Structure 1
């Protein structure tokens, strides 16, 4: 019985922690990681300050966990849906479309947590910057691996995986600023078309991909 109560408390604690981190990532997408007020975040997540400090000793600890939570959200909402497509150019394009859908659906009020975080911490050495850089390196490595797989399958012969991965990611990042400052609909359409045209031009079998 005591063990059951302990398990129940642990489960409630994990749910409370996840609720706070979800709210933290949402707020940080607009206000930045430094804009996370512990008191404001506790109120927004519906927990007491004492309950909040049961999970994190300080703001930096919260920031580090928020980065990890955002990376898992990225995997769940962008990486995993693309796995439904076959390896090669179709999966690469599906990954970019999933990224655009994540932005277009307004999952985060600021559009992209990592777009905001990298601009905030790129010139600020320390554990938070290192964790952001780690998440970004892992994302680029994953994209690089998808291109390598397409090259091995003969769907992107002669392509430099690092170069194409950089281009696709750069187009994704540019979409965020364009969508928020100029025109969202145009941004998503242009970004989708840019990656689609690039892949269709590089693959010997463009029928693997949509025409438009």
Structure 2
């Protein structure tokens, strides 16, 4: 029982550190992670960090994993409760915008920040970030394909192109909402995808009008 208690406390400590690491990295990037800052923010001794991570790169890799899990729980999970097809596809976009609007992370989006940070830096962290992006795009593409199979998007849809458009509109919301027009960018991003989907849907009444 004592051993199990220590293990549980260790797991909780690790989760708390990773949550704080993802939050800080959404603003300053993964290279901006400082063991000292994380120790202060989580009330963990520096020696406690080395019980979980052998080096900074492993901490960065685990932060990417934690951020991917957070995204799955906060964005993908809610969207999957919508009916399969075009409504789920739009729900996925709305869940993403809600994640940004709710200020879950102080920098808006962990992946937006670290993609720009590591896109030209070969190594294990870049590879893991790139894999997260591929998995996300493939998930959107599967929702597009399912909507086509259900007859809720026209058969002539280019799934790869539509996936790119939906992701790009969601991603640019992070930048525009913080540097340009604030909440208005969320309205524009939602409307742009909604209008695109309604134009491709044989029964546009499946989707909101605006």
Query: TM-score of the superposition, structure 1-length normalised?
Result: 0.97
> In structure 2, what is the equivalent of residue 171 of structure 1?
169
Distance in 2, Cα, partners of 1:140 & 1:45: 33
Structure 1 SS opposite 2:10: helix
TM-superposed deviation, 1:151: 0.6
User: Distance in 2 between the 1:53 and 1:184 partners?
Assistant: 40
Instruction: For structure 2, list consecutive stretches of 5 or more residues without a partner in the other structure.
Output: none
Query: Deviating runs (4+, > 2 A) in structure 1?
Result: none
Where do 5+ consecutive residues of structure 1 fail to align? Answer: none
RMSD of aligned alpha carbons: 0.6
Could you say which residue in structure 2 is the equivalent of 1:182? 180
Secondary structure at the residue paired with 2:69? helix
Q: 1:67 aligns with which of 60, 64, 69?
A: 64
Give the Cα separation in 2 of the matches to 1:39 and 1:56.
Answer: 14
Aligned-partner Cα distance in 2 for 1:177–1:192 = 15
CA distance in 2, matches of 1:205, 1:192: 19
Q: 2:105 aligns with which of 105, 108, 119?
A: 108
Displacement after TM superposition at 1:52 (Å): 1.2
Please give the alpha-carbon distance, in whole angstroms, between the structure 2 residues aligned to 1:64 and 1:144: 26
1:89 and 2:86 correspond: yes
Q: What residue number does 1:195 align with? A: 193
Match of 1:49 in 2: 46
Residue 157 of structure 2 corresponds to 159
Q: Name the SS for the 2:188 alignment partner.
A: helix
Residue aligning to 1:77? 74
1:206 aligns with 2:182: no
Counterpart selection for 1:17 from 14, 17, 23 = 14
Return the offset for 1:45.
Answer: 1.2
Aligned residues: 209
